[in-house]
Chains A and B, each alone.
Chain A
Amino acid sequence: MASVAGESVAAPSGPGVFAWRRRLRRNPWRRPWLMEGFTVLYIIWSIVPIAIAVLFSFNKGGSTATWQGFSTKWYVGNFAQSVLHNPELHSSVIQTLKLGGLTTLITVPIGVGFAIGIDRWRSRTSGGLNFLMIFSFVIPELLLAVALFLLVTQLLKFIHLGTTAEVAGLVVWNISWPAIIVRARLVTIGRTYEEAAADLGASRFGAMRRVLVPLLMPAIFASAVLVFASTVDDFVLVEQLSSTANTQPMSVLIYGNVHGGLSGPALNALATIMLVVSLLVALVGFIAYRWMTRGERTKGSTEALAGIAGM
């Protein structure tokens, strides 16, 4: 009470009111409206164009600028240019899913093994290999793609351009996902559980299979989701390493037809299918990740979101 009285004595009139208002403005719990508005504008800018592109995949006419009524002809109806009937569009969807599946199946096991091995086998060699792996993560994709193209056309000629070369390259490009994510999880788990299992008589394979792998499961799963999604999204590697039209996935087909070629809304339909595939994978990943980490003290959905986005 005394201090309040003292203050009001020191500043009886105008300036006191200003000081009070200034203090209100400094309220640390005030919502920063300006920053929130900026964030909302950014989100609108980042999402609305995509929503419009999805909308135009349902356009009745052949334009991607003027709305001419709703139709699904670019998906199923049109016999020449719908995704279902056009052989090029059709095979690109299959090729994308094929590459995603094969790459995930190869990358995740060898990446997880690599992460565990590097973490435990502490030596100069393992340090160097870890460095190499991080290097593969930051190198511009074009340089890797060009080098791989020269490798398979000049040296390892038994790897043919097409699906084989594409998968070989995509595995290199994606191996850092499981390697980095699983390694981070290994660090948080520590050795205690595994050592306890070993002390209780588990064999080294037993300790790994029954203790370590279950604990790593959320990280393994998150990296599988990321590898699949980033393969579906990939463009540079698959463009350099594909050969005939049969081995061109969706991204390459869209790139090749933007300036003429297949008609506009059909490309939007293709892109929308790609979007749905990615979002489904993300959704399944999110739900499964939450389920797998249900017993842990985490921040809940925020943590799971960060997990499947590789953060």
Chain B
Amino acid sequence: MGRADTYDRRNRWLWIGLTAPGAIWLLVLFVVPFYAMLAVAAGGVNPFFQISVPTWNPLHWSSTNLTAEWHAIVGTGSFIAAPALRTILYTAIATIISLAIAYPVAYFVSRYAGRRKTLYLVLLIAPFWVSYMMRMLAWIDLLQQNGFVNSVIGVVGLPSHTDWLGGKPATVVFGLVYGYIPYLILVLYAGLDRIDQSLLEAARDLGLSKWRAFWRVTIPLSKPTIIAGAFITVLPMLGDYFTNQLISAAPGTTMIGNVIEGQLNSPGQTGQGAVLALMLLVVLLIPMVYYAISTARASREFA
């Protein structure tokens, strides 16, 4: 250890030099952009051209956009509260369904797949290599009014003219689950595969039933994985605007991402859109920091 330390210290400038390009890229194109967002959010609007004007000096920041946006959230005629609540609801339901499907699948493949493990793993990873857009396109084809899903329902004898793509919340939740579940399964699989099997054998030897061993050993050991997996699905779902736009495109199913995107692209409202984006960022800061800290700690423990 002492030797490694001197080796590291002797070459300090080499390490700094290697870090620099990535660090500069992150600072200029990851940190500064959020300052630009702040400047636009705290800026004003040019009254003649209806375009947002950023204010770069923090001493001159105004709260005009913040006030306007706050009224749009809680004031009468609020058009943001409903999409915000909908976002939370859709994300929560989709995450619970995803976990309920993904956990048994990942558990089976990591523990019981046996000789067929590689085959199963290939099939689980396959959707990861198919673009999100194509997976949505596939379901748009199937869910059309004269599509495959309605045909199958018709064969069974149920009403077969449902317009699945006409703004149904269930379709949006379904799309979110289908879209994000491959990532969740991979995270869960990687975590469950690392659990030491001998711990379970010990629990069984010591007289725990199969179910109790599962509850008292496997579940507690897979808790960090479940939390990491939930973050991996919840964070992108909260910023999603394309899934519901693709498979619903109705005002009744818009989410917070659609409101942000819409405001940013309407003349004069860019500043308000930036305020809303920053609000979402502040809310998400807590889970994001938690995730970053636990990831950093895990990598330090490995070392």
Contact = CB atoms under 8 A, between A and B. Distances in A.
Interface of A: 26, 28, 31-32, 35-36, 38-39, 42-43, 46-47, 49-50, 52-53, 56, 64-66, 109-111, 113-114, 116-122, 126-127, 129-136, 138-144, 146-151, 154-156, 168-169, 171-172, 175, 179, 183-184, 187-188, 191, 194-195, 198, 204, 229, 232-233, 235-236, 239, 250-251, 254-255, 258-259, 264, 267-268, 271-272, 274-275, 278-279, 282, 301-302, 305-306, 309-311
A251 B131 CA distance: 8
Contacts of A309: 125, 128, 186
Contact of B26 (A65, A133, A233): A133
Given A133-B26, A147-B36, 20 more contacts: A38-B108, A46-B126, A110-B22, A132-B26, A134-B295, A135-B30, A139-B281, A140-B257, A143-B280, A143-B284, A172-B25, A179-B22, A194-B7, A254-B134, A271-B137, A272-B134, A274-B133, A278-B131, A311-B189, A311-B190
Interface of B: 3-4, 7-8, 10-12, 14-23, 25-34, 36-37, 39-40, 54, 56, 101, 104-105, 107-109, 112, 117-118, 120-142, 144, 146-148, 178, 181-182, 186, 189-190, 204, 210, 231, 235-236, 238-242, 245-246, 249, 257, 260-261, 264, 270, 273-274, 277, 280-281, 284, 288, 291-293, 295-296, 299, 302-303
Most central of B26, B117, B231, B280 by chain A CB within 10 Å:
B26
A47 B182 CA distance: 11
B263 to A, nearest CB: 10
B122 A65 contact: no
A223 to B, nearest CB: 13
A119 B300 CA distance: 10
A132 B24 CA distance: 12
9 contacts: A35-B107, A117-B22, A120-B8, A121-B19, A143-B277, A251-B133, A254-B133, A267-B137, A278-B130
Most central of A36, A143, A146, A258 by chain B CB within 10 Å:
A146
A148 B29 contact: yes
Most central of B141, B144, B189, B264 by chain A CB within 10 Å:
B141
A34 to B, nearest CB: 9
Q: Is the interface of B mostly helix, strand, loop or mixed?
A: helix
Nearest to A132: B26
B112 A136 contact: no
A97 to B, nearest CB: 14
B134 A275 contact: yes
B19 A114 contact: yes
The 3 residue pairs across chains A and B that have the minimum distance between CB atoms: A140-B239, A117-B19, A114-B22
Given A52-B142, A140-B235, A302-B117, A132 B148 contact: no
Nearest to B189: A311
B133 A255 contact: yes
A184 to B, nearest CB: 7
B15 A120 contact: yes
Contact of B132 (A26, A132, A169, A233): A233
A58 B261 CA distance: 35
A250 B15 CA distance: 39
B30 A144 contact: yes
Given A32-B108, A42-B105, A134-B291, A143 B281 contact: yes
B29 A169 contact: yes
B288 A139 contact: yes
A303 to B, nearest CB: 10
Q: Is the interface of A mostly helix, strand, loop or mixed?
A: helix
Most central of B30, B186, B210 by chain A CB within 10 Å:
B30
Contacts of A204: 10-11, 14
B29 A140 contact: no
Given A50-B127, A110-B21, A235-B132, A151 B29 contact: yes
Contact of A175 (B22, B40, B270, B277): B22
A189 to B, nearest CB: 11
B112 to A, nearest CB: 5
Given A120-B8, A271-B133, A168 B29 contact: yes
Most central of B105, B132, B231, B264 by chain A CB within 10 Å:
B105
B216 to A, nearest CB: 17
Contacts of A310: 186
Contacts of B11: 120, 204
A21 B125 CA distance: 39
Contacts of A154: 36, 39-40, 54
A195 B112 contact: no
Contacts of B36: 147, 150-151, 154-155
Contact of B299 (A183, A264, A279): A183
A256 B34 CA distance: 27
Contacts of B124: 43
B120 A39 contact: yes
A151 B127 contact: no
A44 to B, nearest CB: 10
Given A114-B23, A259-B249, A279-B129, A53 B37 contact: no
Contacts of A56: 141
Contacts of B291: 134, 138
Contact of B30 (A53, A109, A132, A195): A132
Contact of B210 (A26, A50, A232): A26
A127 B297 CA distance: 11
Contacts of A50: 127, 130, 134-135, 138
Given A120-B8, A311-B186, A187 B299 contact: yes
A131 B296 contact: yes
